[in-house]
Amino acid sequence: SQKQIAIVHNGIIENYEVLRDKLIKDGYVFKTQTDSETIAHLIHRARNHGKSSLLEATKQATKKLQGAYSICVIDNTEPDQIIVARSGSPLVIGVGDGENFVASDPLALGQVTDRFIYLDEGDIARITLKGVEIWHGTRKVNRQITRVQNYSKDVDKGKFKHFMLKEIYEQPQVIKDTLDGRISDKKVLEQAFGVNAPAILNKVKSVQIVACGTSFHAGQVAKYWLESIARIPCQTDIASDYRYRDIISQPDTLFVAISQSGETADTLAALRYAKKQKYVASLAICNVATSSLVRESDFCALTMAGQEIGVASTKAFTTQLALLLILSIVLARRTGLKASEESRLVKQIAKLPKLIEKTLALSKEIKKISKQFSDKEHSLFLGRGIEYPIAKEGALKLKEISYIHAEAYPAGELKHGPLALVDSKMPVIAVAPNNDLLSKLKANLSEVSARGGKLYVFADESIKFESDRSCRVINVPNCPDILDPIVFTVPLQLLSYHVAVMKGTDVDHPRNLAKSVT
């Protein structure tokens, strides 16, 4: 602004048009259509018209902002300081020796420091070479310096061409890491959810899950597990809708927020909204121990996925599912799950890493069929019951990284619209585990074949599904029903990866997308 104030802004200012109009009346000339320019001009006006310090000018400006933001401010007349502020968007200060840094994620600073200060909601800080001063409102406050593990191993692709492929292949190990210490030979160890978890979970009669994107699909799978295994009702909401809804909460409902980064703006806003309601407690399922979501929830369950670099989530999703599955078993104890049945389920879950390893062996076969997708513009993913969210996840992955329009539908809804789209040019991908909905699914798929559609069916190897001219079958290792959603996710990840590589897209950094949606 006026060649004096420069800012870096992450987030969305919802009232920027009103502020912009006022600034134009005050004589400010806008060179862009962005909300960020509004912030720079607001700070400049407070700095020069009110003769305020840069810190005070930033405080005055942020009071006028509505929305989510993290900002860094520099004044070229005082270049030895940076003023930063956060509201609804993450901001972390990296602490060095005679130097300090600022970023939205510690990963960005992993090469220069392992010491970080996580700013709280509403904090404003002044950063210089010598140190960091932080204010919350009118109070000067101290924030703890946290050491964060070195991510050097995670940020190395090793033998893999892309981080996404590396992370797909890490799933057997990270699922094992997520389950270790949480299950024994015969049962789930509920104390692993926290020392207060048993007392909290004793009060739970229903569950409310809130998340975005891939994490929302994990929540939708969990709904099936919670209702079928634990026999308790579960509601799932997209965070960006939930936070604006006039919700009805119950004092015996557990609020669960799911996020890989723990900094997803809509999920954080939903958590803060939920904490004002009557829920028994809030549980964060997250991959980052130091995240805002973890710090602000009553208790947490951490996925042990390690740093996930690829924008399209893979290993974070399957570890979320693993945690949600064992949470369902913990809650099922309170609704009459017998010890013998729990032991049977836990033994099945313990086989999950090996099953994922076997499923990864399908990569070469999937790579071959991916050639048939590279010139397609549209695709349809089908699943029934608990596999419908997995079909949605498969469609999301394909559209994210290959830029092919992909839509997911419950297979039973084919006749209610999607069948009109089926022709020989649009591939139809189906997830077919050997469960009690198999005969229904087969009937749905026959409708596709009858209309000249090209089917690609990922089917449990125990099913007598045969390939023909209209149907290509990829046999997936046989697995117990409760593990189907996790196991069948993997071939869909591989499909999206290989199609994207064939098309030459930026697999790890697809256009217009960011890893943490803040």
In this structure, are 135 and 206 located in the same domain?
Answer: no
- Residue 251's pLDDT band, with cuts at 50, 70 and 90, is very high
Lowest model confidence (mean pLDDT) among 52-61, 184-193, 319-328 = 184-193
Domain boundary among 316, 350, 384: 350
In this structure, are 112 and 164 located in the same domain?
Answer: no
Looking at residues 182-193, what average pLDDT do you find?
Answer: 86
pLDDT at residue 306 above 80?
A: yes
Bridge partner list, 422 = none
Residue 309 counted as domain residue: yes
Looking at residues 449-468, what average pLDDT do you find?
Answer: 85
pLDDT at residue 52 above 90?
A: no
The CA–CA distances, whole Å, from 209 to 108, 215, 285, 327 equal 30, 10, 10, 13
In this structure, are 137 and 54 located in the same domain?
Answer: yes
Looking at residues 255-267, what average pLDDT do you find?
Answer: 94
In this structure, are 180 and 322 located in the same domain?
Answer: yes
DSSP 204-263: -SEEEEEE-HHHHHHHHHHHHHIIIII---EEEEEHHHHTTS-----TTEEEEEEESSS-
Which is more confidently placed, 323 or 307?
Answer: 323
Residue 142 counted as domain residue: yes
pLDDT digits (tens, 9 = 90+) for 75-102: 998 889 999 999 877 888 999 888 899 9
Looking at residues 466-476, what average pLDDT do you find?
Answer: 86
Residue 302 counted as domain residue: yes
Looking at residues 193-201, what average pLDDT do you find?
Answer: 88
**Residue 194: what pLDDT?**
82
Looking at residues 416-431, what average pLDDT do you find?
Answer: 86
What is the SS3 assignment for 272? Answer: helix
- The C-alpha torsion from 387 through 389 and 395 to 396, rounded to 10°, is -150
Residue 399 counted as domain residue: yes
Residue 355 counted as domain residue: no
**Residue 450: what pLDDT?**
77
pLDDT at residue 518 above 70?
A: no
Domain boundary among 94, 128, 147: 147
Angle between helix 35-48 and helix 16-25 axes, rounded to 10 deg: 50
If one counts the domains in the chain, the total is: 3
Nearest to 118 by CA among 70, 185, 179, 178: 70
In this structure, are 506 and 433 located in the same domain?
Answer: yes
**Residue 18: what pLDDT?**
92
| 378-409 per-residue burial string, b: 16 or more CB within 10 A, e: under 16 | ebbbbbbbbbbbbbbbbbbbbbbbbbbebbbb
**Residue 152: what pLDDT?**
52
In this structure, are 510 and 435 located in the same domain?
Answer: yes
**Residue 300: what pLDDT?**
92
Looking at residues 390-417, what average pLDDT do you find?
Answer: 93
Structural domain that includes position 98: 5-147
Q: What's 66's domain CATH number?
A: 3.60.20.10
- Contact, 265 vs 257, CB < 8 A? no
- Contact, 23 vs 41, CB < 8 A? yes
In this structure, are 343 and 378 located in the same domain?
Answer: no
What is the SS3 assignment for 18? Answer: helix
- Contact, 82 vs 73, CB < 8 A? yes
**Residue 516: what pLDDT?**
64
How close are the terminal C-alpha atoms of the chain, in Å?
24
Report the alpha-carbon distance of residue 118 to residue 93 in Å, rounded.
7
Report the alpha-carbon distance of residue 21 to residue 484 in Å, rounded.
55
In this structure, are 315 and 166 located in the same domain?
Answer: yes
Q: For the chain, count helices (H), then strands (E).
A: 17, 20
Considering only CA atoms, give the Rg of the chain.
Answer: 25
Residue 271 counted as domain residue: yes
Residue with tokens 């802004």: 9
**Residue 318: what pLDDT?**
98
Looking at residues 148-170, what average pLDDT do you find?
Answer: 82
- The mean pLDDT of the chain is 91
- Residue 154's pLDDT band, with cuts at 50, 70 and 90, is low
pLDDT digits (tens, 9 = 90+) for 344-365: 999 999 999 999 999 999 999 9
- Residue 496's pLDDT band, with cuts at 50, 70 and 90, is very high
Q: What's 382's domain CATH number?
A: 3.40.50.10490
